[in-house]
Amino acid sequence: MDGNGRWAQQRNKRRTFGHKAGVDAVRSAVRYARETGIESLTLFAFSSENWKRPAEEVSVLMELFSLVLKSEVKKLNKNDIRLKIIGDISGFDSKLQKKIADAEALTASNSALTLNVAANYGGRWDIINATKRLMTLANKGELNIDDVDETSFGQQISTYGLPELDLLIRTGGDHRVSNFLLWQCAYAEFYFTETLWPDFNEDMFAQAVEDFAQRQRRFGLTGEQIMTQDIEPKAC
């Protein structure tokens, strides 16, 4: 969800004004995903590196997470949307941790859409965390070195249980991954747009999905194999 700061600066406002406007774009994206039957939507709300931003901005973002949790969770629940926070939750203050736990518990059995909010998240953190979990199992004698493979590793990653990542959209004009879903994006399609996040509306989301639908995903096979044989391409 890149571009909030620039969106605000273009209007001679403080960066935090852009984050507040970004919440409306979050609502549109969630609505679009819910209405079109997308199974899982992950939003990068706060990276492990974002703590280094000016204290005032970090504090407004924390306040915003709290407010959004308070104001939106009932609506998410009513719309059969499951909320999951991925990231190192222990980095947040205890009140926010409690709100996150309550929101996740309330929506746990919903199944129309899983909305993952990546908060205090980093792709490298995710991989290290999964490694630690595997090592804990190994230390307890519940895992042998030969059991370490993509399946057992994937079971420890934060998005375990969700479908493979198909499409990664980055708004704001930069062409990089910035430590998002590194393990998960192995076979994802990338879509970059100059649009700043607060301007990213449902039509733009539909445009990204349309673009994605035109791509030939080969997963290591040749184009001919995909076109001529009855081989179902899979990520793993």
Question: Whole-number minimum distance, CB 155 to ligand FPP, in Å?
Answer: 26
Q: With binding defined as CB under 6 A, does residue 29 bind ligand FPP?
A: no
End-to-end CA distance of the chain: 28
Catalytic status, residue 146: no
Shortest CA distance to 169 belongs to which of 157, 181, 154, 183? 181
Q: With binding defined as CB under 6 A, does residue 3 bind ligand FPP?
A: yes
CA distance 162 to 179: 19
Candidates 21-29, 121-129, 137-145, 222-230; binding stretch for ligand FPP (CB under 6 A) = 21-29
Question: Whole-number minimum distance, CB 18 to ligand FPP, in Å?
Answer: 6
Q: Which two tokens stand for residue 6?
A: 């620039």
104 Rama class: left (phi>0) / alpha (psi -120 to 50) / beta: alpha
The correct pick among 17, 32, 65, 125 for binding ligand FPP (CB under 6 A) is 65
How are beta strands 113-121 and 40-47 bridged, if at all? parallel
Helix (H) or strand (E) holding 115: strand 113-121
Question: Whole-number minimum distance, CB 4 to ligand FPP, in Å?
Answer: 4
Angle at 67 between CA 63 and CA 70, to 5 degrees: 145
Shortest CA distance to 38 belongs to which of 182, 170, 209, 186? 209
The correct pick among 11, 13, 16, 22 for binding ligand FPP (CB under 6 A) is 22
Q: With binding defined as CB under 6 A, does residue 133 bind ligand FPP?
A: no
Catalytic status, residue 2: yes
For ligand FPP, the closer of residues 32 and 46 by Cβ is: 46
Site residues (CB under 6 A) for ligand FPP? 1-6, 15, 19, 22-23, 26, 43, 45-46, 50, 61, 64-65, 68, 117, 172
Catalytic residues: 2, 50
Q: Which residues are annotated as a binding site for substrate?
A: 3-7, 15, 19, 47-49, 51, 53, 170, 176-178
